Amino acid sequence: MDTLIHPTFHKASPRIKISSAPPNKIKIPSVFTREKKRKLPTLSNTPLPLSTHPRRILSQMATTTAAAAASSFIGTRLPDVYSNSGRIQARFGFGGKKSKPKKSIKPSSDRPLWYPGATAPEWLDGSLVGDYGFDPFGLGKPAEYLQFELDSLDQNLAKNLAGDVIGTRSEASDVKSTPFQPYSEVFGLQRFRECELIHGRWAMLATLGAITVEGLTGVTWQDAGKVELVEGSSYLGQPLPFSITTLIWIEVLVIGYIEFQRNAELDPEKRLYPGGKFFDPLGLAADPEKKATLQLAEIKHARLAMVGFLGFAVQAAATGKGPLNNWATHLSDPLHTTIIDTFSSS
């Protein structure tokens, strides 16, 4: 019994055994072809056609087998690795434990707003003193950070997919103070409240000083520095043994030390209201209700003083006069001495 073995693809191709049986008993294995088995004619004296000769058939079978085996080595179409079908996606989040969701404070219908019918933003929930829902530019909106899923890190791929955006995250409203960053956000709502109070307190002092100096001496606030440089430093008409330069250095050192100590404080409440009992010797803020009332009055006066001193600066630039002089001029002729007449004549 002879054996045919393909010289190249002997591992992939089965061995074909040719027995000495008559040609009509040769069995063609169904492994090499999907066609129906051909029924060979019986052996007779008539010569077989070339296409049906057994050796011709075996040669065709070997060729088909080699082609089938070769096709597995040429390449196989793989499924698209970038398609989402059959792909397992794992998303991970890193960080501490999730904090319990805080109950949202629903604004009451009787809550005062900066104009009737206004809608307060969701980050202005009325918890701050003097909150009237005024933030038309959204400056106090909490910062949002994008969250990405992990990148695909498969060394078998020629190109790995980048992680997609899976959501947003906002910082907690609670302030976590550090020596270098007293607030969680540089431009956060708590930081804006501190700046508003500090600027408002300076504006209240400046407004009171501008009106008092002009009322007592007749010198406007914008010319007070000129008088000090020419006539020397004085207080309430009494000369002082200091020059204007010495007074500036005293102010820088004293106020600088106070501000340095205030900025070293990590408690947000103490940063807004420093001093403790030294600034409240009479105990006016001992009662929580009275304290809230005084804080509201302070922020209202601070806002009014900032707007008022801005008006002083505009008047001084337009007319060159002080606030009391401009007020007296307006009262002398209210209908013809207004801000519109002042800017139209200049």
CATH of the domain at 203: 1.10.3460.10
Q: Is residue 149 part of a domain?
A: no
Would 43 be classed as within a structural domain? no
* Strand ranges inside the chain, DSSP E: 2-4, 16-18, 144-148, 165-170, 234-235, 238-239
How many angstroms separate the CA atoms of 346 and 338, rounded?
A: 12
CA distances to 42, 134, 171, 279 from 252, in Å: 122, 34, 36, 21
Binding residues for chlorophyll b: 201, 259, 266
Tokens representing residue 272 in the block: 């807004």
Residue 90 lies in a domain: no
Residue 305 lies in a domain: yes
Grouping H, G, I as helix, E, B as strand and the rest as coil, residue 3 is strand
The per-residue pLDDT for 49 is 52
Q: How many domains does the chain have?
A: 1
Whether 256 is in a domain gets the answer yes
Q: Note down pLDDT in tens along the chain; length 346 residues.
A: 444 444 444 444 445 444 444 545 445 444 444 444 455 445 445 554 544 555 555 565 555 555 544 444 444 444 444 444 444 444 544 444 455 554 444 545 578 888 888 888 888 888 889 999 899 888 888 877 777 777 777 777 777 777 777 777 766 556 566 666 677 677 788 889 999 999 999 999 999 999 998 998 888 999 988 887 777 777 777 788 888 888 889 999 999 998 888 888 888 888 888 877 788 888 888 888 999 999 999 999 999 999 999 999 999 999 899 999 999 999 998 888 888 887 777 6
91: in domain: no
Residue 264 lies in a domain: yes
Answer yes or no: is 183 within a domain: no
Give the global pTM. Answer: 0.60
- Sequence-distant (6+) residues with CB within 8 A of 316 are 220, 221, 222, 322
- Which residues make up each annotated binding site for chlorophyll a? 196, 199, 236, 298, 303, 315, 330
Structural domain range at position 304: 189-345
Annotated binding residues, as ranges?
Answer: 196, 199, 201, 236, 259, 266, 298, 303, 315, 330
Whole-angstrom CA distances from 164 to 91, 148, 167 are: 10, 5, 9
